Amino acid sequence: MPKRLITGLNSWFQRDRIVSNLVIFQDIIVISLCLGLFCVMLIRLVDMFFSLLHPLDLRQVTSDILFILILVELFRLLIDYLQEQQISVVAAVEITIVSALREVILRGVLEIPRDQIFGISVFLIVLGVILIAIPWMSRFFEHVKITHPEISEEPTQLTS
C-alpha cells in the first residue's frame, strides 16, 4: 500500500480516539442503567408501602425488602464501575448470594424439591469459597507483582 494511503487510514482510524469514544458510549449506557434502576427502586418502594396498607403478608414484605436491597447493591455496583472503570467481584458475589437466598425465602425451603435444595446449597458454598478466596488471590497477585516487577499485567483484575 502506498504510504499516503496508510497515513490517510491512520487519520481516520485513530485508536485512541475510537477507544475514548467507546468508553464515553459505555459510560452513557451505564448511566442510563443507573437511572432505570433508580426508577425501578422507587416504584418497588412505593408498591411495598402501599402493600402494607392491606393485610400483612410477611413472606411478600420480606421478598420486597430483599429485592430492593438487591437493586440497591446493583446500583452501588454500577456507581463503583463508573468511578473505577472495573467491576467489584466481591460485590457481584454478594449480590448473587442475596439473590439466591431471596428465591429460597420466597418459595419456602419446604416447598423446594430436595435436588434443587442440594444444587442451591452447592451454589452457595461455591460463592462462599469465591468470596473467601478473592482477598487471598488479590494479596497473592500483589505479592507476585512486587516480587517480580517484570510482570506488567495481572492475569485477572480482582477487587474487593
The closest of 100, 105, 102 to 121, measured between CA atoms, is 100
75-130 pLDDT per residue, tens: 999 998 888 888 878 888 888 888 888 888 777 777 888 888 899 899 999 999 98
For the chain, which residues make up each domain, given as ranges? 12-85, 88-160
Chain centroid to Cα 151, Å, comes to 28
Report for 70-79, 99-108, 144-153: range of highest mean pLDDT: 70-79
The mean pLDDT of 61-88, rounded to a whole number, is 86
Specify the pLDDT at position 35: 95
Alpha-carbon Rg for the chain in angstroms: 23
CA atoms within 13 A on the CB side of 19: 3
Cα–Cα separations (whole angstroms), residue 101 to 15, 75, 109: 45, 19, 10
The answer to whether the pTM exceeds 0.75 is no
